[in-house]
Amino acid sequence: MGIRIKADDALIIVDVQRDFCPGGSLPVPDGDRIIPVLNRYIEIFRRAGAVIYATRDWHPPNHISFKEYGGRWPVHCVQGSRGAEFHPDLKIPEETIVISKATDPDREAYSGFEGTDLEESLKSRGVKRVFIGGLATDYCVKSTVLDAIKCGFRTVLLEDAVKGVDVNPGDSERAIKEMLSAGAERASLSDFMDP
pLDDT per position as a tens digit, 152-191: 999 999 999 999 999 999 999 999 999 999 999 999 999 9
State residue 37's pLDDT score. Answer: 98
Q: Is the pLDDT of residue 14 over 60?
A: yes
State residue 24's pLDDT score. Answer: 98
Q: Is the pLDDT of residue 195 over 80?
A: no
Taking only the tens place, the pLDDT of each residue in 37-52 is: 999 999 999 999 999 9
Domain annotation covers residue 96: yes
Domain annotation covers residue 4: no
Q: How many structural domains is the chain composed of? A: 1
State residue 138's pLDDT score. Answer: 97
Q: Which amino acid is at 161?
A: A
Domain annotation covers residue 2: no
Average pLDDT over residues 46-73: 96
Domain annotation covers residue 185: yes
State residue 194's pLDDT score. Answer: 65
Domain annotation covers residue 107: yes
Domain annotation covers residue 89: yes
Q: Is the pLDDT of residue 9 over 90?
A: yes
Domain annotation covers residue 1: no
Q: What is the CATH number of the domain that holds 90?
A: 3.40.50.850
Domain annotation covers residue 88: yes
Q: Cite the active site residues.
A: 15, 101, 140
Average pLDDT over residues 7-24: 98
Range of the domain at 138: 9-191
State residue 1's pLDDT score. Answer: 56
State residue 106's pLDDT score. Answer: 96
